[in-house]
Amino acid sequence: MEFIKADGLVAYQDAHDFMEQRVADIRNDEADEALWLLEHPALYTAGTSAQDDDLLDARFPVFKTGRGGQYTYHGPGQRIGYVMLDLKRRQSVPDIKKYICDLEEWIIRTIAQWGIIGERREGRVGIWVDLKPYGRSGEAKIAAIGVRIRRWVTFHGISLNLNPVLENFEGIVPCGLAGYGVTSFADLGVGYDEGAVDAALHKNFAAVFGDT
């Protein structure tokens, strides 16, 4: 298992091309599985379930991608975790639902180290935060999940909001869920060090998924 940490912003097309090649190589036993942490410049991506009406204002480039889900925003201040695993090697019976649940658990354990309680919601993929402890009403999403699986090898993954410009989410209906907000470490008033977040993501990935 290879742990990769990118410096600077990675163009979305470059990341897409890297994942395509790595997934093929993993499938052909020519490369190790990989966890890649990175940030993208500001852009929107459209998953396979994206609805045209959910793109409200194309203020950034829009990339159509083969991952599941709908529209999401990526940009500076958001930590992306692209996960390339061979589920046939890791699970006795490959199970996509279990894989999604494990991604959620990975995020929940990571943000808990900063005192943030991440929660699942029935019918809504991603990790949510109850805003009442922060003196606000309602709930908001702090991390999104969008995956693709080809011949049981995974790619795409998660996005965790550290300090992105939250107004940039207003150009879309995030994940097709109107009426729900988006939050971040900074929005919640939680201080963080990016290196420490990366270390926590690495450690908790190993705890949830096994040897890295």
Counting the structural domains of the chain, the total is 1
pTM for this entry: 0.94
Q: Give the per-residue pLDDT at 175.
A: 59
Secondary structure string (H, E, C) spanning 6-57: EEEECCHHHHHHHHHHHHHHHHCCCCCCEEEEEECCCEEEECCCCCHHHECC
At 179 the pLDDT is 63
Q: How far apart are CA 177 and CA 186, in angstroms?
A: 22
Choosing from 162, 175, 188, 200, the catalytic residue is: 175
Short-list 198, 203, 187, 190, CA closest to 115: 190
Which amino acid is present at 90? R
- Domain of residue 185 covers 2-209
Beta-bridge partner residues of 129: 140
A 10 A CB-CB count for 154 gives 24
Distance CA 6, CA 188 (A): 26
Give the C-alpha distances (Å, rounded to integers) separating 210 from 6, 34, 89, 206. Answer: 22, 13, 12, 5
CATH number assigned to the domain comprising residue 155: 3.30.930.10
* Residue 60, pLDDT score: 96
Give catalytic status of residue 101 as yes or no: no
Residues paired with 119 in a beta bridge: 128
Mean pLDDT per 10-residue section of the chain, whose length is 212 residues: 96 97 97 98 92 90 88 96 95 90 97 98 91 95 95 96 96 70 96 97 96 62
Compute CA distances 73 → 21, 29, 148, whole Å: 24, 33, 17
pLDDT score recorded for residue 110: 98
